[in-house]
């Protein structure tokens, strides 16, 4: 895994610390465990495509330097089309996948601060203007995570199955 991208955090000494890591080819075996619908060939292509690219970004969250707690994949406008009527513009990204390690579901402090760290990374490292996230209406936890991280529902809500959220920094 490449070098950690440490996010400054406030909190008491000894509290859980989150760091983010852009994924690279050496993470391939671990990535297979997370992306169960992908094949070896599609994952290899995805990793080759994302190498050095800001168009598709895969980031993993690490807590206390040892536990992989989540995986986030974001796509730029050139690589994705939203299900809603909104079309991504240059500098805008769409969360296409957020997978959480079940071990953190009971660690509410970590769980609710995780997405904030990802958005901070996307705005500082990728210079994102906005981040969009289409969340299936049945995913109650993701709706709660989005709202706690500062995402707001957009005016465009033309899908029955999805709610479109945006984060503007």
50-82 pLDDT, tens digit each: 555 567 777 877 777 656 778 888 888 877 888
| pLDDT over 70 percentage in the chain | 66
Q: What is the pTM of this model?
A: 0.74
CB 7, CB 52: distance < 8 Å: no
How is the beta sheet containing 152-153 ordered, strand by strand? Answer: 5-6, 18-22, 56-63, 67-76, 92-100, 130-136, 162-167, 152-153
Mean pLDDT score across all residues of the chain: 76
Cβ proximity of 96 and 164 under 8 Å = no
Return the domain boundaries, the chain: 5-167
Q: Which CATH class is domain 5-167?
A: alpha beta
């Amino acid at each position: 895994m490449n070098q950690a991208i440490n996010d400054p955090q406030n909190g008491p000494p000894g509290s859980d610390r989150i760091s983010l890591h852009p994924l690279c080819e050496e993470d391939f075996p671990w990535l297979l465990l997370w992306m169960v619908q992908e094949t070896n060939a599609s994952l290899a292509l995805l990793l080759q495509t994302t190498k050095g690219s800001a168009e598709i970004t895969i980031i993993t969250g690490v807590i206390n330097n040892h536990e992989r707690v989540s995986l986030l994949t974001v796509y730029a406008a050139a690589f994705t089309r939203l299900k809603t009527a909104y079309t991504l513009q240059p500098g805008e990204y769409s969360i296409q996948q957020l997978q959480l390690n079940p071990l953190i579901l009971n660690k509410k402090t970590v769980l609710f601060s995780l997405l904030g760290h990802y958005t901070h990374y996307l705005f500082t490292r990728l210079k994102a203007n906005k981040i969009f996230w289409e969340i299936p209406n049945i995913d109650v936890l993701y709706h709660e995570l989005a709202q706690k991280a500062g995402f707001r529902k957009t005016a465009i809500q033309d899908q029955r199955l999805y709610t479109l959220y945006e984060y503007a920094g």
